Amino acid sequence: MPNWGGGAKCAACEKTVYHAEEIQCNGRSFHKTCFICMTCRKGLDSTTVAAHESEIYCKSCYGKKYGPKGYGYGQGAGALSSDPGEHLGIQPQESKPHRPAPDSNPNKFAQKFGASERCPRCSKAVYAAEKVMGGGQPWHKTCFRCAFCGKSLDSATVTDKDGEIYCKVCYAKNFGPKGMGMGNLGVVEEK
């Protein structure tokens, strides 16, 4: 079939790749949507791609498939065993819990990159670029949602109670005053 005014053929789907949608890797062209790991199907870019012959992978899948194998390599490249005597049949001795020296800080790396705080919703590290404060705690932007309805919150719509955050509507429904006359401006008189 002739290539009428189009670009190169995509190495993944073999359809024409026009210049505006082209990504090149190892001298081959791909559509942006076809530039994915052959194993896990994650989208790739120039920093996450690892090529092997005519196949492309994310670095994690590439390491598992083509990284070093054998004793000491758990899931591919870089996952060495941490027990030095395991292969010699040496049984580990009971050890005392590790306590850092009084002047050392075990979280220096995390603090340097702003990850010393944990999100109360997902318990993962919260970095400065994704940090939103609410109820006196750091949250991921994606976790900063009402605990009842899941609505995204912002500083104008957030309310907190007992370490959890809610939209104003759900907070009023669940924690607001209840009973006759509540929510009205008038006061009910007792007789």
- pTM of the full structure: 0.37
Tell me if 56 is assigned to some domain. no
Asked if the structure places residue 125 within a domain, the reply is: yes
Instruction: Look at residues 185, 161, 180 and name the one whose alpha carbon lies nearest to residue 171.
Output: 161
Domain membership flag for residue 186: no
Q: Assess if residue 185 is contained within a domain.
A: no
| CATH for 127 | 2.10.110.10
User: Count of domains in the chain?
Assistant: 1
Structural domain containing residue 133? 111-175
Whole-number pLDDT of residue 21:
85
165 part of a folded domain? yes
How would you label 79-91 residue by residue, b for 16+ Cβ within 10 Å and e otherwise? Answer: eeeeeeeeeeeee
Q: What confidence score (pLDDT) does residue 74 get?
A: 52
CA distance 141 to 135: 14
154 part of a folded domain: yes
Domain membership of residue 21 (yes or no) is no
CB neighbours (10 Å) of residue 165? 24
| Residue 130 covered by a domain | yes
What is the DSSP-derived secondary structure letter of residue 1?
-
Which pLDDT tens digits describe the chain residue by residue (191 residues)? 555 666 788 888 989 988 888 888 888 888 889 999 988 989 888 888 888 888 888 988 988 888 776 665 554 444 444 444 444 444 444 444 444 444 444 445 444 554 578 899 998 988 888 888 888 888 888 999 999 999 989 888 888 888 899 999 999 899 888 766 555 555 555 55
